[in-house]
């Protein structure tokens, strides 16, 4: 029991750390460590319980809650919260001070995840390859558009940001942080985490709960009925998201120190000779880390 809970806590820490970074998804980490479909099933069951509670069906609610795997969900949630709370400031600093090197590391992580996702498709066909390419191209060009930072966002905007971000967090490929960056809410939400602005964080959390309940139900149904096609679309998401992880010129992009300016992270340039070594080495390290984690996950499943 204790080793299982400890391992799940570590998975949560990894997912939370990934979700803080624009361009890296906690869903990608869940896929790498072999818990993605179980996570979606558990979240969908939780959403069903929440729906029963809203309708006043207390007996059905408690029956559904008792069916949840607490040893799976609780340490995972604790790990995510600890990572987000503890690493937000550290990762933001690293993204500001070493943008190309950090982007190189994340590029390697996600590039390896593309291979793992493709391998998870049980019957690979030309149709699945077409889905991968279409989604990848759409995401690649879509990531070229992003908004300037929202100043003094209203409560409704915080709720909406939480709903959109949580949907991205459970999809491999696009991170919740990058969705926040695209809609101009990254600085506001990260600032709320750093400042412990619990009123704003409660609004984001409310949006996240609602968004997670609705989206996990849809995603769970799609995985049940069109699993290989959905996985192909997820591979396309990860492949297209590599645009924002290309290290040059600005890494994944950052928020300026006064949190009033977004530095674009979707530009594509070739590196100068002296800029090549660090990102490439870290990219290779990230790639190897993911492949090793995937092998460990396979052994744990046996």
**From its phi and psi, is residue 177 left (phi > 0), alpha (psi between -120 and 50) or beta?**
alpha
Which of 98-102, 154-158, 223-227 reaches the highest mean pLDDT?
154-158
Q: How far apart are CA 291 and CA 297, in angstroms?
A: 10
**Per residue in 126-144, pLDDT tens?**
999 999 999 999 988 877 7
What is the model's pLDDT at position 148? 58
183: pLDDT confidence band, cut at 50, 70 and 90?
A: confident
Q: What does 147-198 look like in DSSP terms, one character per residue?
A: PPPPSS--HHHHHHHHHHHHHHHTSSSS-HHHHHHHTT-HHHHHHHHHHT-H
pLDDT, tens digit (0-9, with 9 covering 90-100), for 36-75: 888 888 888 888 888 888 788 888 888 888 888 888 989 9
Burial class (CB in 10 A: 0-12, 13-18, 19+), 195: exposed
In this predicted structure, what is the pLDDT of residue 52?
A: 86
């Amino acid at each position: 029991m204790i080793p299982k809970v400890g391992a799940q806590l570590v998975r949560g820490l990894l997912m939370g750390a990934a979700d803080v970074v624009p361009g890296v998804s906690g869903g990608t980490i869940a896929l790498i460590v072999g818990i993605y479909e179980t996570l979606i099933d558990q979240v969908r069951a939780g959403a069903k319980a929440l729906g029963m509670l809203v309708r006043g069906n207390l007996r059905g609610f408690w029956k559904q809650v008792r069916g949840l795997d607490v040893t799976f969900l609780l340490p995972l949630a604790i790990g995510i919260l600890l990572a987000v709370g503890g690493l937000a400031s550290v990762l933001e600093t690293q993204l500001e001070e070493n943008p190309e090197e950090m982007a190189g590391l994340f590029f390697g992580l996600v590039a390896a995840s593309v291979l793992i996702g493709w391998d998870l498709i049980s019957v690979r066909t030309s149709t699945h390859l077409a889905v991968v390419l279409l989604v990848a191209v759409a995401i690649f060009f879509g990531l070229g558009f992003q908004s300037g930072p929202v100043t003094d966002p209203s409560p409704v905007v915080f709720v909406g940001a939480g709903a959109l971000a949580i949907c991205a967090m459970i999809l491999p490929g696009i991170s919740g942080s990058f969705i926040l960056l695209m809609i101009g809410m990254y600085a506001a939400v990260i600032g709320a985490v750093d400042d412990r602005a619990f009123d704003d964080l409660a609004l984001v959390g409310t949006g996240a709960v609602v968004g997670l309940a609705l989206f996990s139900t849809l995603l769970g149904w799609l995985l049940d009925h069109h699993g290989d096609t959905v996985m192909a679309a997820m591979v396309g998401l990860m492949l297209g998201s590599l645009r924002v992880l290309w290290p040059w010129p600005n890494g994944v992009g950052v928020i300026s120190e006064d949190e009033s300016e977004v530095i674009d992270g979707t530009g594509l340039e070739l590196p100068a000779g002296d800029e090549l070594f660090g990102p490439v080495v870290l990219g290779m390290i990230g790639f190897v880390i993911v492949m090793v984690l995937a092998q460990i996950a396979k052994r744990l499943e046996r």
